[in-house]
């Protein structure tokens, strides 16, 4: 049995435009029929809002003047006294320290004050500007 190959081939084409139309119709149907769920993200259960009876402890504050003085509650203190003050007040109240810097004061002094506060056991030391 011999097969005869004819020289003429029929080219068949598949028309996909109805298929694409059908896919778009299904896509629109599923978008319309889908119910979107509103999930709860972050809840506001902070320590401050969870128990309003707790009082917020004020941080220990040191002021740096432009003349190079270190003040604590308006009284001048030396750089060596900062760590013992932080240790003493950490036992009594908050272990957070705020260093308020007056414009024109030295950055190196602010760094030394922050280092002494960390040596005294402060959990966080915040550097803020001191309003004139």
Evaluate whether residue 25 is within a structural domain.
Answer: no
**Would the pTM count as exceeding 0.85?**
no
Print the SS3 string covering the chain: CCCCCCCCCCCCCCCCHHHHHHHHHHHHHHHHHCCCCCCCCCCCCCHHHHCCCCCCCCCEEEEECCCCCEEECCEEECHHHHHHHHHHHHHHCCCEEEEEECCCCCHHHHHHHHHHHHHCCCCEEEEEECCC
Evaluate whether residue 16 is within a structural domain.
Answer: no
Mean pLDDT value across residues 70-94: 84
Evaluate whether residue 9 is within a structural domain.
Answer: no
Evaluate whether residue 11 is within a structural domain.
Answer: no
Evaluate whether residue 45 is within a structural domain.
Answer: no
Evaluate whether residue 12 is within a structural domain.
Answer: no
Under the banding of pLDDT at 50, 70 and 90, the label for residue 27 is very high
Evaluate whether residue 91 is within a structural domain.
Answer: yes
Parent domain of 120: 58-129
Q: What is the pLDDT of residues 96-121, one digit of tens each?
A: 888 888 888 888 888 888 888 888 88
Count of the separate structural domains present in the chain: 1
| Domain CATH number, residue 91 | 3.30.420.270
């Amino acid at each position: 049995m011999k097969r005869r190959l004819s020289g003429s081939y029929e080219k068949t084409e598949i028309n996909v435009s109805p298929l694409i139309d059908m896919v778009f119709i299904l896509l629109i149907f599923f978008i319309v029929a889908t119910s979107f769920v509103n999930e709860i993200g972050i809840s506001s259960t902070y320590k401050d809002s969870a128990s309003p009876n707790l009082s917020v402890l004020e941080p220990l504050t040191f002021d740096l003047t432009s003349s190079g003085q270190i003040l604590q509650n308006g009284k001048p203190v030396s750089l060596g006294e900062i760590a013992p003050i932080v240790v003493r007040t950490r036992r009594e109240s908050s272990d957070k320290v705020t260093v308020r810097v007056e414009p024109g004061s030295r950055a190196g002094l602010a760094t030394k004050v922050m280092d002494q506060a960390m040596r005294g056991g402060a959990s966080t030391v915040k550097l803020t500007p001191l309003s004139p």
